Amino acid sequence: MDYVGAINDVDVLGKNDYDLYPDYSAAISIEEDQFVFNTGKSLFNKETLNANMVLVFKDPFHK
């Protein structure tokens, strides 16, 4: 949570991507989410946020 400037989970609770990231990064994140939702396929990405490298794994959740 440090890479978005949050101290604890309460700081990010109820926020969306646009609240936490620059617009360009938020748009990419939402596009990736839609890919996972629509295809049911996993996604692995490397992102650079605030000069930090972040590994992102997005997997569909099946009941």
Please write down the HEC assignment for all residues of 10-49: HHCCCCCHHHHCCHHHHHHHHHHHHHHHHHCCCEEEEEEE
Which of the two residues, 18 and 12, has the higher pLDDT score? 18
pLDDT computed for residue 30 by the predictor: 92
Q: How far is CA 44 from CA 13, 20, 28, 58, 59, in A?
A: 24, 20, 13, 6, 9
5: Cβ contacts below 8 Å, ≥ 6 apart: 11
In the predicted structure, residue 58 carries a pLDDT above the cut 80: yes
In the predicted structure, residue 49 carries a pLDDT above the cut 80: no
The pTM (predicted TM-score) of the whole model is 0.66
pLDDT computed for residue 18 by the predictor: 94
